[in-house]
Chain A
Amino acid sequence: MKTSLNWITSCAQAKCTPEEYQHKMIMSGTAVDDISPLFDFSGVVVGRVLTCEKHENSDHLHVCQVDVGKDSPLQIVCGAPNVKAGLLVPTAVVGAKLPEFTIKKGKIRGVESQGMLCSTTELMIPQEVYPSVGEAGLMILNEEYAPGTDLLLALGLDDHVVDFDILANRPDCLSVWGVARETAAVFKAPFDPQLGSVKEAGGDIRDYARVDVENSALCPRYQARVVKNIRLAPSPLWMRARLHAAGMRAINNIVDITNYVMLETGHPMHAFDLNQVKGRHIIVREAAPDETLTTLDGKKHRMQGGELLICDENGPTGLAGIMGGLESEITENTQEILFECAAFDRTLTRIVSRRLGIRTESSGRFEKGVNPATVQAAMDRACELINLLNAGDVVSGVIDLYPNPVSPMSLTCSVKRIAHRAGVDIKGEDMVDILHRLDFEASLNGDTLTVTPPIHRTDIEMEDDVCEEVLRLYGFEHIPETLLRGETTPGKDSPYRLMKRRYQRTLSALGFDEIFNFSFTSQKQLDNLGLPAEDARLSPIKIKNPLGEDTAVMRTTLAPDMLKTLAYNIAQRNEEARLYEFGTIYDAFTRTQEGLFAEKRALCLGAYGEKADFYQMRDAVLTMLEQARLRADIQKGGEAYHHPGRSARILVNGKAIALVGEVHPAAAERFNLTRRCFIAEVDFELLSELFESLDAVKALPKTPAVHRDLALVLAKEQELLPVLREIEKAGGRLLEEVRLFDVFEGEQVGQGKKSAAFSLKLRDPEKTLEEAEIIKVIEKVKKKLKDAFQAEIRS
């Protein structure tokens, strides 16, 4: 919320620099995002053009002698067409800083010029704030000011704009009076909005207008007053300047008063041309379905039913609290007006404003909450301004439909509890003083603090709210640092995070970098995997209000994002990438007891580059399983997006724990992968569940080990892990370890054959092995290999 600093300080004095003001307001809970001068120029004074002669070397320039209140006038060359002797004009003297340049002494076509006569454009003063002769010419001052007076001071425009960021619990602060009350409390000054009284011109409002509210729950208060003999005119400079500071355009005195009062009091006001209100009868009611209405901006809206409408006897004329209707708008012909100041339901305002896509200063305030109790003050202020601006005659009497007046509620608090919660030793007397500064009624009786918040504060409901009020004005900076007391608790990390950190160390050592992808993906990305239509992963949880197509569904697998990230790295011409992501995947078909979706922790690895291949990826997974002390089985084959000859399922105890493979060329094309990429997906929950921690180390054997090599010739397509497993099985207790150390194919092996060489390490931990025992084991292994794989034993 932007507002004029002078406007605030006219209600509550704050003797300080704008910077100090900003700091003190922030530290007491009224956030100020920015504070800056209303007009960004200096060194411009009122000047009177004494003489104005044609420039000898120009057909459009003039040489003027300008009185700026000094002993001798300044000679200034001026190019404006409307310059002439006798005018009062803004004069930028040498050294003046204008928004876009600084004034220097200089010669213009051979004639010395000691300043510049300014236009509103050069000073960036909008036309609606100071209507002058138009943008091209000089800004001519219509009032009488002493030459030499600072222009901003003379016009009352030496002001700052304060940009407040008002908290959601303080709708009362969405107004000059609201922030001025805070200012008063902070600077220990009285709050005085300098109000007069309304002068009524006689008559009786009941002879002019009638109001009916059908549903007071949606419109808890509706107040109306009538002003006759409207004298439509521009509003005065001070009012236009304050509206400008708040970012609003001045229009005419009546409209400006409604806006001014809204900014000042926080109460949106509306002015109806009473003669355009059919039957001079306002009816506040809910819309019937399909009713239509044309708002001020000329747009036609169709109602769903239930919206709150302001109607006359012809039908709807405005959307309550959001926007007025076109027909009852104030025009040059308006003779009588009806002022509306009301409170409308915030939720309904919010819903309707959202649905119709109309957001106005008014709807914004009603959504945040407009207090019915303070309606009267706003209406009085509007009528007082009518008097002040002589914009019309206020008809006597008020229509005030307020069936359930809000009354102040008092709270009983404990000084001790408040001080304790705050953690600061604040005395009861100090609490009372602070609360008085905030317009609260407060009295102390021993430890009991009885508090009645002022009627404009709707956010104070309990002792803790009082605690916050006291503490924020006492100063949050007085809160000391203390350590937690009481029963201690052991700190510990979550099981998932512990497991994740354990594997992160492994993955780091293997050269993999962690990535974070969004939890959403698109249906298209999932489809790009090429999975069979019935695959559950193709039916993700959908977001009702996604940001866009690309982020419309929750991911069911980490694979598409991994492939996308690999493609991104390839596109960046990064030579290689080894990546992993720990992430949640979401299952649309499995619900928890609470009705939530099953969330699963998954791990995905991806890589490309000179050193990347199937085995690098597979071995990363096998290393993780090894770390978990798990024995892996490997089965050829993968998903539709895997290369069928270069993909495998990794199993532990018959359960698939991981899937590894090269990306299928067709899938690679869909994901824009222009290099061979490899991907592995790990069921991290299963891995965590199966993880075997080290309980006790094995004693080291004292007996020596014996090594024997075994070279076999096998069918070329024979997978070697089963062969190794068979050796392990046949080797029994004495076989400590088997390693494959060589595989080759070639003429010497024979067509359709391959040679595989294994190294066996044998040991009896109890005693030194004898040759006969060794031979027995080796022979048994050889026999098994012959039987199971038709292996030809070469050595």
Chain B
Amino acid sequence: MENQTQITQLVQRAQEALQKAENLKELDTLRINLLGKKGELTGLLRGMGQLSPEERPAFGQMVNQAREKIESMMAGREKELKASELEARLVKEAIDVTLPTDLPRLGNPHPITQVLDSVVECFIGMGFQVVEGPEIELDKYNFELLNIPKNHPARDAQDTFYIDENIVLRTHTSPVQARVMAAQKPPIRVICPGRVFRADEVDATHSPVFHQIEGLVIDKDVTMADLRGTLGAFARQLYGEGITTRFRPSFFPFTEPSTEVDLTCFVCKGKGCRVCKGTGWIEVLGGGMVNPKVLSANGIDPKVYSGFAFGVGLERITLLRYGISDMRWLYEGDERFLRQFS
């Protein structure tokens, strides 16, 4: 009986001590003191030798039960202590989540690049290949093969920069058309983006350097309606549903018939606003059916094949897209301007 009381008291004491333990370290010390090799419970077991063999099994069982009880209490207390320690740590580690910091800044591709990429993506989706050509170009490709012979008045309108008599800074991306026709057989579906040059003084709406995208399709049975369909699809993809094209007769030496192409103003959706000067339309492209003289000059039989070509001024659609009022901003490289195009 005495032994039983001893065990009960030990368990009682252990319970009280565990409740007092404030942290895991104290808990560890308790574990050693109670359950360790030199601990109290082990001490009790050692005292078992003084008992009669009949009493031993019952005593042993009581000690083991006491051990299990203490271990379980210990595990419970350990869990509590861990939880409160974690809680304390989390409180301590709290930070000012509103603290203003310097953000890592992402850079941006130039607005012209961004607009060009979206245009290119759209035409690639329609099965067009991107082809590029030289910026310093032979007169032959820039003019002659495009039905603009020497002394043609259209040459004046283009205000060409000359390197020598036969070499010019290309005035449009159309020479890439001629190069493509020389290199590929129909069906041809290409767009040719690139840098072009004209002798215009710099001001809010002019620049001696600017960018165009030329499109060319040559196949059997290509019609003006295909041109309209292609440009309509392009306009809707770039500016959204509800955008339509308006064709106006025009003149370019390398197309016949030729057309100016207006798009529904994408700011007011055709109602009339400041951007479209109240007309509901924005002039964006020029194009037409490839002049048979151009096809012949470039080795394609106009009796078998027909085609259309068009040209877009990238600066113009970029200015319109972002409401940029001065073209010079595109070429100044002011960081405050560029960082807006994220």
Contacts and interface: CB of A to CB of B under 8 A. Distances in A.
A, B bound: yes
B110 interface: yes
B134 interface: yes
A481 B109 CA distance: 34
A584 B195 contact: yes
B226 A484 contact: yes
A420 B223 contact: yes
Interface in B18-77: none
A477 B129 contact: no
A479 B154 CA distance: 27
A350 interface: yes
A510 B107 contact: yes
Contact of B187 (A169, A487, A507, A580): A487
Contacts of B339: 513
A483 B233 CA distance: 9
B2 interface: no
Given A350-B151, A480-B228, A551-B208, A586 B109 contact: no
Interface stretch (A302-310, A591-599, A659-667): A591-599
A594 B125 CA distance: 33
Interface string A468-497: 100110001101111111111111111011
B132 A543 contact: no
Interface string B276-298: 00000000000001011000000
Given A481-B229, A504-B109, A517-B331, A420 B221 contact: yes
A33 to B, nearest CB: 12
Given A484-B217, A595-B138, A347 B151 contact: yes
Given A514-B108, A546-B161, A464 B291 contact: yes
A578 interface: yes
Contacts of B224: 421-424, 471, 479
A388 B143 CA distance: 48
Contacts of A114: none
A577 interface: yes
A192 to B, nearest CB: 25
Contacts of A545: 161-162, 199
Nearest to B105: A511
B128 interface: yes
A589 interface: no
B136 A586 contact: yes
Contacts of B187: 486-487, 489
B117 A501 contact: yes
B136 A481 contact: no
A477 B135 CA distance: 36
A423 B110 contact: no
B21 to A, nearest CB: 38
Nearest to A576: B335
- Choose among B124, B164, B199, B248 the residue with the greatest number of A CB atoms under 10 Å from its CB: B248
B167 A596 contact: yes
Contacts of A483: 226, 229-230, 233
A504 B108 CA distance: 8
Interface residues of A, number: 90
A492 B109 contact: no
Contacts of A511: 104-107
Given A367-B153, A545-B162, A596-B137, A468 B126 contact: no
A462 interface: yes
A492 B130 contact: yes
A491 B129 contact: yes
Contact of B225 (A462, A479, A508): A479
Contact of B247 (A479, A486, A509, A574): A479
Interface string A518-531: 11100000000000
B118 interface: no
A557 interface: no
Interface residues of B, number: 87
Given A489-B129, A596-B167, A482 B229 contact: yes
B268 interface: no
A541 B311 CA distance: 28
Nearest to A469: B257
B153 A491 contact: no
A477 B163 CA distance: 43
Given A481-B228, A489-B187, A519-B135, A578 B332 contact: no
Contacts of A592: 134
A351 B150 CA distance: 12
A489 B127 contact: yes
Contact of A518 (B199, B208, B250, B253): B208
Interface in B223-251: 223-230, 232-233, 245-251
Interface in A534-588: 541-547, 551, 554, 565, 568-569, 572, 574, 576-580, 584, 586
Given A483-B229, A484-B219, A472 B130 contact: no
B108 A508 contact: yes
A281 interface: no
A493 B219 contact: no
Given A482-B223, A492-B130, A168 B251 contact: yes
B123 interface: yes
Contacts of A721: none
Contacts of B334: 568-569, 572, 574
Interface of A: 26-29, 31, 167-170, 346-347, 350-351, 367-368, 420-424, 462, 464-465, 467-468, 471-472, 476-477, 479-494, 496-497, 501, 504, 507-520, 541-547, 551, 554, 565, 568-569, 572, 574, 576-580, 584, 586, 592, 594-597, 599
Nearest 5 A/B pairs, CB to CB: A423-B225, A29-B249, A423-B223, A468-B257, A491-B124
Given A483-B229, A542-B163, 7 more contacts: A481-B233, A494-B130, A513-B107, A545-B161, A594-B138, A595-B138, A596-B137
24 contacts: A29-B248, A347-B151, A350-B151, A421-B257, A468-B256, A479-B224, A484-B217, A486-B219, A486-B221, A489-B128, A491-B128, A511-B104, A514-B108, A516-B330, A516-B331, A518-B208, A518-B331, A543-B163, A545-B161, A547-B199, A569-B335, A579-B333, A595-B166, A599-B135
